[in-house]
Amino acid sequence: MKKQLIALSIIIMFNSNAHADDDKSMTTRAGKLNIVGDFQQENIIFKGRKLFKEDGSYGFTQKFTFSDRDVILTSSSEGASCQLWTFLTANNKGVYQSPIFGTCDDGPKVTKDGEKIILIMNNKKNKKIRYTFENNYLLENGKSIK
């Protein structure tokens, strides 16, 4: 019984540490992405380099796997009042960032439809805005975002 309790304690300890790291790191086919820094002073690091020019508060929201790439939906905020989004595309050549986008809606509806990732969110006037990410292109209501 004592050996079982010790083994169970080790498993619980190991699993709690794994969960603590899950929200700060993401394994992709290009390599590992890590969120480093203190609150509101974070950045995402890939192979020792910052992916964003500005530090802020970043989070990995969801990973989508395609045949030739991984796409990670990432949240970004420089303050408590507005959450924005970006896609990180990881393939065998590296990691690429989409433009930052959003309406400050921190609860978008996210779906995948074939090669498309679609986010529906409300703007400040409660109008629905549709963002589509497909083949590394980002569209807002059908118009390209650069």
- Look up residue 13 and give its amino acid: M
For residue 145, count CB atoms less than 10 angstroms from its CB and return exposed for 0-12, middle for 13-18, buried for 19 or more. middle
| pLDDT value, residue 1 | 45
> Per-residue pLDDT tens for 120-144?
999 999 999 999 999 899 999 999 9
Q: DSSP characters for 72-138?
A: EEEEEESSTT--EEEEEEEETTEEEEPPPB--S-S--EEEEETTEEEEEEE-TTS-EEEEEEETTEE
Tokens in use for 135? 């083949």
- Look up residue 22 and give its amino acid: D
Using CA atoms, how far apart are residues 135 and 130, in angstroms rounded to an integer? 17
Q: DSSP characters for 113-132?
A: ETTEEEEEEE-TTS-EEEEE
Residue 87 pLDDT exceeds 60: yes
Percentage of the chain lying above the pLDDT 70 cut: 83
> Per-residue pLDDT tens for 15-56?
322 233 468 999 999 999 999 998 888 999 999 999 999 888
Q: What is the pTM of this model?
A: 0.80
Using CA atoms, how far apart are residues 43 and 56, in angstroms rounded to an integer? 7
| pLDDT value, residue 80 | 65
Using CA atoms, how far apart are residues 124 and 32, in angstroms rounded to an integer? 35
- Name the residue with higher pLDDT: 92 or 10: 92
| pLDDT value, residue 77 | 82
